[in-house]
Structure 1
Amino acid sequence: MATEIKSLAPSSVWEFFYDLTQIPRPTGQTRASEDYVIALGKRLGLETKRDAVGNVLIRKPATSGMQDRLVVTLQAHLDMVPQANSDSSHNFATDPIDAYIDGEWVKARGTTLGADNGIGAAYAMAVLAATDLKHGPIEALFTIDEEVGMVGANGLQPGFSQGDILINLDSEDECELFIGCAGGLDVEATLEYKDEVSVPEGDIAVKVSLTGLKGGHSGMDIILGRGNANKLMNRFLKEAIQSCGARVSSFVGGSLRNAIPREAFAVITIPEEEADGLWELASDYIDTLQTEYKDIEANINFVLERVELPKTVVPEEIQDGVINAVEGCVNGVMSMLTSFPEIVESSTNMARVMLKDGKFEAYFLVRSSLESRKYQVASSIESVMSLCGAKVRFDGAYNGWAPNADSSILKTMRLAYEQVLGITPEIKVIHAGLECGIIQGAMPEMDMISIGPNIRHPHSPDEKVEIASVEKTWRVLCKALELV
């Protein structure tokens, strides 16, 4: 039962997190979670307000004798990534998350857990509700729709928050302090064509399904070299066209812009006499993938099945142009940071591909800590996609967060880790889109840092949060609020 997580420590954090799992809150549908947070603030008798975008801010006065301290803003986002396994019937718009304890971790059955960033929001709410903590003036800022377009952060107006220091609670590695992050840019390629080419006479239809890939966060996990379902499906289709005379009727892969695609599906037609050759090609291909992704992707599932003939196939010139463009487009890690050699500087994720019903669409999320590199990677995608006749549009650009090694909150947080856990935390820059860079644009004088417990495989149904890490990070956060 999901309620079992309320028995974990610290109880206040887990109780608030449980409540959030019961409120459907995919990106774009956060009104109920906003109302929940607002109700909490009012119940506690705290100053509570919501801006025009939907961001919620709650202010808590300092404890006695600490009124002269700097104002600390605890910040987290309310939305979550809605990803489910293919065999799941979960409706993210209406169904609660079924969280459960699995040994040392909390997971969800068949879906994303929403610890990204539900645990961060739960930390902030627990601080607001606590009566036994020592701290200066506190703000809790709950932003909306971070996962697609950083909508809440982009909508923040100067003056909504009065914080001097911002502690972003959206990191996913215990004992690591994040002082910088990548910016991002959405790239969309589209092409329309006449869907009127009949299936070649004598052809049979085959559905090709690629499932079982790990997927994951397109920033955090891009360095792991996981398979991109769109790229891998396209690679097979190109071989099937060349070797078996295949014609593509449809190709659909991936879902969210910031999730590495785990699944892709295609319907193709081939001359009936080429059936044995296609199945042999598929057998060889799965062997190739298992060799190439050994120790990375353990559960690749590649299946062919006969289906009813579709009404049409994609015109051959469109099919070939699109297949070549998807093959040629960059994907994955593009460059590494020189000052933090283990951190990705720039990358791109071919998040979604659709070719059917007279339309081709491809969506990419480009990330980079360096603005010029971000646009260079986007330009390379534009160049390749334009060769097949697609129109390319850039959208949703957001800035990165420049590291500040002399930050005062960095020194305070490092001291908190040393006093509470007896360790010196690592200083990191993250290849993901934290809201800090955007918030800094609205509040340039704010000193910032990002922390969080161990969360693994966010943006995928394998997402999990470590129980002990949640408790340790809570104690560190409380100590930091006392020290600021």
Structure 2
Amino acid sequence: MNAHLEQLSPQPLWRHFRTLCNTPRPSGHEAALVARLEAWADEQGLAHDRDAAGNLRIRKPASKGHEAAPGVVLQGHLDMVAQANADHPHDFARDPIETYLEDGWLHARHTTLGADNGLGVAAALAVLEDDTLTHGPLEALFTLEEESSMGGALNLAEDWLDGRILLNLDSEDRGQVYIGCAGGADVVVDAQLPTSDLEEDEALVRLALTGLTGGHSGIDIHKGRGNANRLLVRVLRALEAFDARLVDYRGGTLRNALPREAFATLALPADEVEGARERLLALELELRDELAGADDHLALALETVEARAAEALTRDASRLLIAALHAAPCGVERMSVDVPGVVETSNNLGVVTLEGGRFHLCALVRSLRDSATADIADRFRALFELIGARTRVENGYPGWTPDPDSSLLARFRALHRARLGVDPEVKVIHAGLECGILGAKYPEMAMISFGPLIRGAHSPDERVEVASVEEFWGLLRALIEDLARPSS
């Protein structure tokens, strides 16, 4: 599948990306890809090893005469976000990604593409097999479970890597170089809430909120797009006027993707169903008006459910849960004063479920300040303790502190200017690159992050501009060769 990728330039990079598209690799299911890359390294005569966490390293000795050059680590993550349109059945653990070209962009059919971070991984592999390249000692570091937990980087072995320079290949903007990023943590809330039998006069209805754009919960969170969990909870709040109570709820699939859809089953008096339906029509117009220009395709639907559920949340439990979700932090909390135009702190209500009275929430807090991450996590704890829920913080990772005076950055800027005629934009990103974690484990290592132009990451709208991949490839090769020479 995806043979057309090998017709693109640079051919070695796209050939490796084809392998990645054809090898299922959602977070937690990278083993088959690791085995394939190890077999490839053996064919190339390249040394490889894994640390205790399963992260893969492939090494290539320096070009003759450049053994004394500083070692360079090419770093990317093997996993991809698994998101598909609701009407498209796709098993990310078994099915390959089907790609197509349109107007100079590469897309996937109804799923995420995996350009994040498959193109970075493919570029590192292409560098390793390029025998025309002059380079110092090279290591390619491929981490696991970045999209789900940063688990690979968090558990990376210390004193394992030899290189002194790290090139993170997980950025998504042409003409930009990143020197800092936000840290973050998952906030997980669980509760067993009281339920009661359905009453004789209660009917069941299925409520759906669909049509949102979604996107990356770091890169896109400031763009005014709708969060399906936030919006459906707002609708549920309004429907409490019709004496509705929650039976079940399902919204979002990943804590680091803006939820595009959410669904709930409600029990309400049968004679209130038509009134609720009319209120829903008004709410749909209201929400569409608020989101106009940022998210234009929101849709609300209400259907009667024939099957009878055994029970729903009690009225008090339903009202308390909806109130807590309505009050929970969501979206941009604060913009940075130190780095104008960059989000300092945000929270994404990523995954919310309710079934049989069992409530679960997973939110992702991001911040340039670790203290702000801790504060929002504590606010969740304080809020949800009021309804008897348990809150815990998991998978915390530090931010990456910018170093605008780094010699690595200066060399990249000069190279970018010489090749493309313009200076790159030097940026700090609100997304959670692995550099902060890696820098904490290897504090003497200089780092930058750059990549091709990717849009719609973490959603089925993900796409990459093909021309930007060739530009990225040229910059990467030139930088590696530049770093093999003594600095002036």
Normalising by structure 1, we get a TM-score of 0.98
Deviation at 1:59, TM superposition (A): 1.2
Query: Hey, what's the Cα distance between the residues in 1 that align with 2:247 and 2:185?
Result: 30
Query: Hey, what's the Cα distance between the residues in 2 that align with 1:278 and 1:193?
Result: 25
Report if the CA contact (8 A) 1:76-1:168 is conserved: yes
Q: Does 1:395 align with 2:398?
A: no
Query: Hey, what's the Cα distance between the residues in 2 that align with 1:394 and 1:377?
Result: 11
Secondary structure, counterpart of 1:223 in structure 2: coil
Q: Does 1:458 align with 2:457?
A: yes
Report if the CA contact (8 A) 1:17-1:118 is conserved: yes
Q: Identify the range of structure 1 (458-467 vs 385-394) with the bigger mean alpha-carbon deviation.
A: 385-394
Query: Hey, what's the Cα distance between the residues in 1 that align with 2:413 and 2:78?
Result: 27
Query: Hey, what's the Cα distance between the residues in 2 that align with 1:259 and 1:172?
Result: 16
Deviation at 1:306, TM superposition (A): 1.0
Report if the CA contact (8 A) 1:314-1:356 is conserved: no
**Residue of structure 1 in register with 2:80 after alignment:** 80
Q: Does 1:265 align with 2:263?
A: yes
**Residue of structure 2 in register with 1:223 after alignment:** 222
Report if the CA contact (8 A) 1:5-1:101 is conserved: no
**Residue of structure 2 in register with 1:305 after alignment:** 303
Residue by residue, what CA displacement relative to the aligned partner does 1:21-55 show, whole Å, maximum 9, x if unpaired?
00010000101111122122211111111122111
Q: Does 1:279 align with 2:295?
A: no
1:252 to 244, 250, 253: 250
Count of matched residue positions in the alignment of Structure 1 and Structure 2: 482
In structure 1, what residue type is equivalent to 2:301? V
Q: Identify the range of structure 1 (278-287 vs 331-340) with the bigger mean alpha-carbon deviation.
A: 331-340
Query: Hey, what's the Cα distance between the residues in 2 that align with 1:120 and 1:378?
Result: 32
Q: Does 1:439 align with 2:438?
A: yes
Query: Hey, what's the Cα distance between the residues in 2 that align with 1:328 and 1:134?
Result: 57
In structure 2, what residue type is equivalent to 1:43? E
Report if the CA contact (8 A) 1:213-1:299 is conserved: yes
Report if the CA contact (8 A) 1:420-1:479 is conserved: no
Secondary structure, counterpart of 2:280 in structure 1: helix
Q: Does 1:482 align with 2:481?
A: yes
Query: Hey, what's the Cα distance between the residues in 1 that align with 2:338 and 2:129?
Result: 40
Query: Hey, what's the Cα distance between the residues in 1 that align with 2:212 and 2:149?
Result: 25
Matches within 5 A, 1:135-154: 135-154=135-154
RMSD of aligned residue pairs (Cα, Å): 1.1
Report if the CA contact (8 A) 2:52-2:157 is conserved: no
Query: Hey, what's the Cα distance between the residues in 1 that align with 2:315 and 2:77?
Result: 45
Report if the CA contact (8 A) 2:245-2:319 is conserved: no
**Residue of structure 2 in register with 1:160 after alignment:** 160
Matches within 5 A, 1:140-219: 140-195=140-195, 197-219=196-218
Deviation at 1:358, TM superposition (A): 2.0
Q: Identify the range of structure 1 (294-303 vs 464-473) with the bigger mean alpha-carbon deviation.
A: 294-303
Matches within 5 A, 1:230-379: 230-242=229-241, 244-308=242-306, 309-379=308-378
**Residue of structure 2 in register with 1:54 after alignment:** 54
**Residue of structure 1 in register with 2:486 after alignment:** none
Secondary structure, counterpart of 1:437 in structure 2: helix
Q: Identify the range of structure 1 (316-325 vs 38-47) with the bigger mean alpha-carbon deviation.
A: 38-47
In structure 2, what residue type is equivalent to 1:206? V
In structure 1, what residue type is equivalent to 2:69? R
Query: Hey, what's the Cα distance between the residues in 2 that align with 1:214 and 1:410?
Result: 35
Unmatched runs of 5 consecutive residues or more in structure 2: 484-488
In structure 1, what residue type is equivalent to 2:150? M
Query: Hey, what's the Cα distance between the residues in 1 that align with 2:401 and 2:390?
Result: 33
Deviation at 1:301, TM superposition (A): 1.9
Moved runs in structure 1, 4+ residues, more than 6 A? none
Residue by residue, what CA displacement relative to the aligned partner does 1:291-325 show, whole Å, maximum 9, x if unpaired?
00001112212111111232211111111110000
Deviation at 1:199, TM superposition (A): 1.4
Report if the CA contact (8 A) 1:75-1:166 is conserved: yes
Secondary structure, counterpart of 1:25 in structure 2: coil
Report if the CA contact (8 A) 2:312-2:357 is conserved: no
In structure 2, what residue type is equivalent to 1:273? D
In structure 1, what residue type is equivalent to 2:328? C
Query: Hey, what's the Cα distance between the residues in 2 that align with 1:430 and 1:317?
Result: 42
Query: Hey, what's the Cα distance between the residues in 1 that align with 2:209 and 2:247?
Result: 16
Report if the CA contact (8 A) 2:194-2:317 is conserved: no
Secondary structure, counterpart of 1:180 in structure 2: strand
Residue by residue, what CA displacement relative to the aligned partner does 1:394-426 show, whole Å, maximum 9, x if unpaired?
111111110011112111111221122111001
Normalising by structure 2, we get a TM-score of 0.97
In structure 1, what residue type is equivalent to 2:96? P
Residue by residue, what CA displacement relative to the aligned partner does 1:65-89 show, whole Å, maximum 9, x if unpaired?
3222111100000000100100111
In structure 2, what residue type is equivalent to 1:188? V
Report if the CA contact (8 A) 2:75-2:124 is conserved: yes
Query: Hey, what's the Cα distance between the residues in 2 that align with 1:120 and 1:383?
Result: 40
Deviation at 1:326, TM superposition (A): 0.2
Secondary structure, counterpart of 2:73 in structure 1: strand
Residue by residue, what CA displacement relative to the aligned partner does 1:458-480 show, whole Å, maximum 9, x if unpaired?
11111011100000011011111
Q: Identify the range of structure 1 (407-416 vs 160-169) with the bigger mean alpha-carbon deviation.
A: 407-416
Residue by residue, what CA displacement relative to the aligned partner does 1:74-128 show, whole Å, maximum 9, x if unpaired?
0000000100100111100100000111111111001000000000000000000
In structure 2, what residue type is equivalent to 1:362? L
Query: Hey, what's the Cα distance between the residues in 2 that align with 1:66 and 1:128?
Result: 16
In structure 1, what residue type is equivalent to 2:278? E
Unmatched runs of 5 consecutive residues or more in structure 1: none
Query: Hey, what's the Cα distance between the residues in 2 that align with 1:193 and 1:177?
Result: 48
Query: Hey, what's the Cα distance between the residues in 2 that align with 1:473 and 1:319?
Result: 51
Report if the CA contact (8 A) 2:72-2:166 is conserved: yes
Query: Hey, what's the Cα distance between the residues in 2 that align with 1:10 and 1:255?
Result: 34
